[in-house]
Amino acid sequence: MVVGDFPIETDTLVIGAGPGGYVAAIRAAQLGQKVTVVEKGTLGGVCLNVGCIPSKALISAGHRYETAKHSEDMGIKADNVTVDFSKVQEFKAGVVKKLTGGVAGLLKGNKVDVVYGEAYFVDNETVKVMDETKSQTYKFKNVIIATGSRPVEIPVFKYSKRVIDSTGALNLQEIPKKLVVIGGGVIGIELGSVYANFGTEVTFIEAADDILAGFEKQMTSLVARGLKKKGVEIFTKASAKSVEESETGVKVTFEVKGEEKTIDADYLLVSVGRRPNTDELGLEQVGVEMTERGIIKIDKQCRTNVSNIYAIGDIVEGPQLAHKASYEGKIAAEAIAGEKAEIDYLGIPAVVFSEPELATVGYTEAQAKEEGLEVIAAKFPFAANGRALSLNDTDGFLKLITLKEDGLVIGAQIAGPSASDMISELSLAIEAGMTAEDIAMTIHAHPTLGEITMEAAEVAIGSPIHIVK
């Protein structure tokens, strides 16, 4: 590879090697394109390095600790259960290392060139890639922008040693005695739950009417109830005002119901959303259309208004989900190859690794009715399932949303153990155009949590077995 003033040519350039970018690069290479990926950080992006994967490693460790301490109901009692948090962090780092190494192997195996540095558009066929010592120009036929997002920083709560973002929360070297979390969304709830399981006194300050906006109240109330059982305080309709920081902690001032309160803690985690990484790419050089929030506008093939420039993931409209980015990456690569692939988000699930886990796909009952659809909302409780009872984990339900006229499955919501795994069957049902009868007639292994899906389908068609009609 010649480095210097002469541009290096490639068919498809992918900017960003997160779950959107590296998947797009692999699919493009599989379709016969010469592909180059530009990454300014570490392969795997936020998700693999400081997001989805490390947070789930900590969540799993927290569950193990709490289970070891609280299994008396099953006749198991463990004394003097302790946590070596440095070992927990080592475990987390090991998981991340395996996956990022796996991504590197996959890119190499698909003959994708990987370049490290920051990309800046010169025109709609050229970018300049710069690192600390040099720059190199790349000329491309098509480009896929997959630069992801970063945590929103509130001016009053600037990140520091004690005021941390999600990355800081994942990398703490000790279990804090007290933690305040501003924001009761998915990231805040997951990370707050991690430390609550390890014994931290956690307080949530949420501006909205409820935690986990976007999920149904009957789902989020189960999570709130579980958190309160752990001693977690949740203030909703609350407004964070200021923070005073010292060497050893923070004092947070907030307002709720017209009353001003203060709370001391070791750390303040600010988790109020993420903003797209589109502001340092030089997109104004090529005239790519964006919203005021920096979101890139795309069509159904992830193509921008500039015909050879595509965008995917957190930098386009829609939920900021790793699996959405991967899905869009495949669509963009296939569109570049001339295939007729188009995005269709109805079957994309969303999951919260809370306690209990929450998962949703397609329409909720309320959304369906808002669109004038006549639906059946069929609900089955985990408490009536043999496997849930044997796990001693029965909080929750599965709700199946089907069209009244023909039983077509158009949505589902799950709150309960392994909801994150169970939702995939219902995503498939929506994608495949299945009906409640199709699911009800599918033999599910016994005893499993998966039977709950079948049982809810039987409720939908009016012939439930394990609850009274």
Lay out the sheet containing 259-265: strands in order across: 238-245, 250-256, 259-265
332-366, pLDDT tens digit by residue? 999 999 999 999 999 999 999 999 999 999 999 99
Crossing angle of helices 21-30 and 85-109, rounded to 10°: 30
CATH classification of 155-272 is 3.60.15.10, yes or no? no
- Report whether the peptide linkage leading into residue 54 is cis, meaning its omega lies within 30 degrees of zero: no
* Residue 20 marked in a binding site: no
Q: Report pLDDT digits (tens) over 420-467.
A: 999 999 999 999 999 999 999 999 999 999 999 999 999 999 999 999
Nearest to 310 by CA among 33, 8, 5: 33
Res 385 pLDDT > 50: yes
Q: Which two tokens stand for residue 318?
A: 């829609």
Would you tell me the crossing angle of helices 322-336 and 21-30 to the nearest 10 degrees?
A: 30
Cis upstream peptide for 356 (omega within 30°)? yes
pTM, full prediction: 0.95
Which pLDDT score, from 0 to 100, does residue 5 have? 62
Pairwise CA distance, residues 9 & 142, whole Å: 11
Is 243 within any annotated ligand binding site? no
Decide if pLDDT at 278 tops 70.
Answer: yes
* Contacts for 234 with CB less than 8 Å, ≥ 6 apart: 184, 203, 204, 206, 211, 224, 227, 228
What pLDDT does residue 318 have? 96
Using CA of residue 57, residue 59, residue 64, residue 68, what is the dihedral sign?
Answer: positive
Residue 2 has pLDDT above 70, yes or no: no
In this model, does residue 3 exceed pLDDT 80? no
Computed over every residue of the chain, the mean pLDDT equals 97
* Residue for token pair 């998915």: 186
Q: Domain locations in the chain?
A: 8-151+275-343, 155-272, 347-460
**Mean pLDDT of the region 57-71:** 96
Q: Tell whether 55 is in a known binding site.
A: no
Q: Which CATH fold would you assign to the domain 8-151+275-343? A: FAD/NAD(P)-binding domain (3.50.50)
Residue 146 · residue 329 · CB < 8 Å: yes
Q: Which residue from 248, 271, 250, 254 is spatially nearest to 193, judged by alpha carbons? A: 271
Task: Average the pLDDT over 62-71 and give the result.
Answer: 95
Q: Which residues are catalytic?
A: 446
Given a cut of 90, is residue 410 above it in pLDDT? yes
Beta-carbon neighbour count of residue 456 at 10 Å? 28
- pLDDT at residue 202 greater than cutoff 90: yes
Which DSSP state fits 345?
A: G
Say if residue 1's pLDDT is above 70.
no
214 is in an annotated binding site: no
Cα–Cα distance, 229 to 66 (Å, whole number) = 13
Q: What is the pLDDT of residues 7-40, one digit of tens each?
A: 999 999 999 999 999 999 999 999 999 999 999 9
Quick one: angle between helices 451-460 and 419-431, nearest 10? Answer: 50
Q: What is the DSSP string of 90-146?
A: HHHHHHHHHHHHHHHHHHHHTT-EEEESEEEEEETTEEEEE-SS-EEEEEEEEEEE-
- Interaxial angle between packed helices 186-197 and 217-229, expressed in degrees from 0 to 180 and rounded to the nearest 10: 30
CB contact at 8 A, 35 and 29: yes
189 is in an annotated binding site: yes
pLDDT digit string (tens) for 128-170?
Answer: 999 988 999 999 999 999 999 999 999 999 999 999 999 999 9
Would you say 168 is a known binding-site residue?
Answer: no
149 is in an annotated binding site: yes
Q: Determine contact, residues 364/219, Cβ cutoff 8 Å.
A: no
Query: Was 45 annotated as part of a binding site?
Result: no
Residue 185 is assigned to a ligand binding site: yes
Domains 8-151+275-343 and 155-272 fall in the same CATH topology: yes
Considering the four listed CATH numbers 3.40.50.150, 1.10.1530.10, 1.10.357.10, 3.30.390.30, the one that applies to the domain covering 347-460 is 3.30.390.30
Q: Is 175 annotated as a binding residue?
A: no
What average pLDDT does this structure show over 55-60?
A: 98
What are 259's strand-pairing partners? 256
| Per-residue confidence (pLDDT) for residue 4, from 0 to 100 | 52
Convert the pLDDT of each residue in 89-134 to its tens digit: 999 999 999 999 999 999 999 999 999 999 999 999 999 999 988 9
Q: What is the predicted pLDDT for the residue at 469? A: 83
Task: Please state, as a whole number, how many other Cβ atoms lie within 10 Å of the Cβ of residue 151.
Answer: 21
| pLDDT confidence band for 6 (50 / 70 / 90) | confident
